[in-house]
Amino acid sequence: MRAILGNNPYRNLRAFVVEFMRFRRVRSVPRGRRSLERELTFKQKELSYSRGVLAYPLGGRMPEEIRVLNLMKVTDALSGAGIDWFMVRNDAKTRYTVAVMEDQKSALADVLASSLRNQAVYVADAGTTGKLYLVAMLSSQPDLLKASVLRFGSFFQSEQTDFTIGLEYACDVEFWHEAPAKLGTFVTPRRNAAAQSIGSSDLSPAAVEIADRELPTLSVFKRRMLDDVAFPIDAVYTWVDGDDPEWLERKRRYEAEDLGNVYHPEANHSARFRSRDELKYSLRSLEMYAPWFRNVFLVTNGQVPAWLRKDHPKIRLVTHEDIYGDLPYLPTFNSNSIISRLHHIPDLSEHYVYINDDVFFGRAVSPEQFFLPNGIAKVSQSNNRRPFGESAVSDEPHINLTRNIRRLIENEFGITISRAIKHTPHPQLRSVHFDMERRFTSEYHQTWKSRFRHHDDIVADQLFHYYAQIAQKAVPGNLRYNYINVLDSAYEGTMMSMLLNRDRDCFCLNDAPVEGAVPLKDEQVLDFLDRYFPVKSSFEL
C-alpha cells in the first residue's frame, strides 16, 4: 500500500479518489461526440485516445507552447471572421483569456464550430466541471451557449510516458456586456487584474506582445498594478560533475593535503558530488513551469555538462574564478563556500532564486510565489526544529550549519532561531547578501578558506533566510513541497503519488545517507524524472 500511496497514505488516497471523480465527471461523453471523434481519427492518423479524449502527440512541446497554440487557434479564427476580441489580464498561471462582447456569442459559436471542425479542439463551460464537447458541437448546445466563460483547448499526450497536457493550458473566452443602468460601463463575468466593472475611459485599445505577436488588449491592462512583480528575476544553479576523472584526481590531491582536519563522514560523502543529470531535469522543470526567469546562471569549477547548449540566450556560465576573484581560496570542494560567493556573480539581478540541481518545479509557479511586489523575498521555513548545542564534528553538517548561524543571529540581534529550512528554490536579495558579508566578514572568510565542508561553516542562503526576516526583507512563504531521499527506498511511494497527483509547486530529490536504509536504484530515479519531465528543454543539445 505504501508503494502506491506514499508516506502520507490517507492524503494520497483522498487525492486519488478526488482525481478519479474529476476524471469521471470531465470525461462523461455527450451524445454525438463519439461519432465526431471517429471522423477525426479517420482524417488525422496522429490522433490517439488518452484518458477518454482525443490527443495529439506532444511532439516536444513545452506547456507554454501549447498555451500559445490554443490561444492562436481561437483568436485567428475570430479575427478571420471579423469578430472583435481582446486579451484580458488575470492571475491565471496557465491559461490565456480573451474577451468578446456578449452580443457576439452566437456568431462566435458558429465561427469556431465551423473553422475548427477538423481539429481535435474541445470546449467546456469554464464555470463547471461538466461535459467536454468537441468544438464542432458548440453552436448546437444550448447549455454551452448560456455559459459566461467558455474554455477551448486540445489535449497532448507524450509519446514515451503517460504525461498529458489538457485544458489546464486552454484558452478561456469571457463574454462581457454593457451595464444596462450605466451606459459606457462594461461588466465582466469574473475578476481580472483590473476590476469586474470597467468604464469607457479605460477601454481605449492597446497592444500586448505574446510569442512575438502584437495582440489587442485594453489600456487598463497595460498599467502596472500594486500587486505586480515587475522586476527581473534570475535563476542561479551550482553544479559539479563528481565523476569527472580530472576533478576526482584534483579532489584526492587536496584531501591528502588536508589530512590534519577532521570532518563528519557526510561532509565529504561521494553522494554530495554525484550527478545523475539532475540539472538537466531541473532545467526542464524550469522551462516547463517557470519560464519567466530572465537569466539562468550556472556556477561550476569550469566543468560544463556535455548536453548543455552553451549558446542558449538565457544561459550564463560562471566559473569559481569569476566569483572568488583574487581570494586565495581556490580550488574549493565546499558547497557552503561556493554558495556564500554567489552574490558576486557579474550582472546578477537584485532578485534571484538559488536552485540546487536536485530541486525541481513540480507545476506552474509565478514570480509572486517567491517575491512580494515591493521586492521582499518569500522564504520557505520548515516545521522541523534544529537541535541546540555547540557545533561538533560528530554531528551532521546541516545541524552544525544551523548552530553556527544561530550563534551569529543571537550575538547580533538577541533573537534565537529554531526552524529548519525546506529544500525548495530559495529567493534571494543580492543587496542583503553584501550586507551580511560586511557584517559577518570573519565568518565568511572562515567558510571560504575551508576547501571541504567544515563543522564551523556558515552558508549564505540559509543565513539569508533568517537574517532577511529580521531585517524586514523577507517573510514566510507557502510553497507546496515534497522531500524525497533517494538513498531511502521508503520514498518510492511518494514518487509514485507525485506522478499521479502533480500537486506540488516544487520537490527535492536529496542524497542523505541513512543508516540501514536501502537506496533507490538509479534506474528508478531516472525513470521518475523521465516520466515527470518527458520534454527535452531548449537548454539541451
Higher per-residue confidence, 421 vs 20: 421
Question: What percent of the chain has pLDDT above 70?
Answer: 89
- Cβ proximity of 27 and 164 under 8 Å: no
Q: Which residues, in sequence order, are CB contacts of 356 under 8 Å at separation 6+?
A: 237, 238, 423, 508
What is residue 11's predicted lDDT score, i.e. its pLDDT?
55
- Is residue 94 scored above 90 in pLDDT? yes
Identify the band that residue 53 occupies on the pLDDT scale cut at 50, 70 and 90.
Answer: very high
Identify the band that residue 273 occupies on the pLDDT scale cut at 50, 70 and 90.
Answer: very low
- Is residue 271 scored above 50 in pLDDT? no
pLDDT tens digits, residue range 426-472? 999 999 999 999 999 999 999 999 999 888 899 999 999 999 999 99
Q: C-alpha cell of 315? A: 544561459
Nearest to 480 by CA among 363, 322, 388: 363
Q: Which residues, in sequence order, are CB contacts of 146 under 8 Å at separation 6+?
A: none
The residue type of 8 is N
**C-alpha–C-alpha distance, residues 271 and 510, integer Å:** 9
Tell me the fold of 233-532: Spore Coat Polysaccharide Biosynthesis Protein SpsA; Chain A (3.90.550)
For residues 276, 280, 285, 286, the Cα torsion angle rounded to the nearest 10 degrees is 130
Mean pLDDT of 351-360: 97
- Is residue 137 scored above 80 in pLDDT? yes
Identify the band that residue 20 occupies on the pLDDT scale cut at 50, 70 and 90.
Answer: low
- Is residue 374 scored above 50 in pLDDT? yes
What is residue 243's predicted lDDT score, i.e. its pLDDT?
86
Taking phi first (over 0 means left), then psi (-120 to 50 degrees means alpha), and beta for anything else, what does residue 184 get?
left
Classify residue 387 by its DSSP letter.
P
Q: Which helix (H) or strand (E) holds 56?
A: strand 53-57
Higher per-residue confidence, 64 vs 396: 64
What is residue 403's predicted lDDT score, i.e. its pLDDT?
87
What is residue 251's predicted lDDT score, i.e. its pLDDT?
87
The sign of the torsion formed by the CA atoms of 334, 340, 341, 343 equals positive
- Cβ proximity of 56 and 69 under 8 Å: no
- Diameter over CA atoms, the chain: 85
pLDDT tens digits, residue range 464-494? 999 999 999 999 999 999 999 999 999 999 9
What is residue 21's predicted lDDT score, i.e. its pLDDT?
47
**C-alpha–C-alpha distance, residues 479 and 380, integer Å:** 7
Give me the residue spans of the domains in the chain: 31-222, 233-532
| Stated pTM of the model | 0.89
What integer best gives the mean pLDDT of the chain? 89
What is residue 182's predicted lDDT score, i.e. its pLDDT?
74
Q: Which helix (H) or strand (E) holds 100?
A: strand 96-101
**386 CA to centre of own chain:** 28
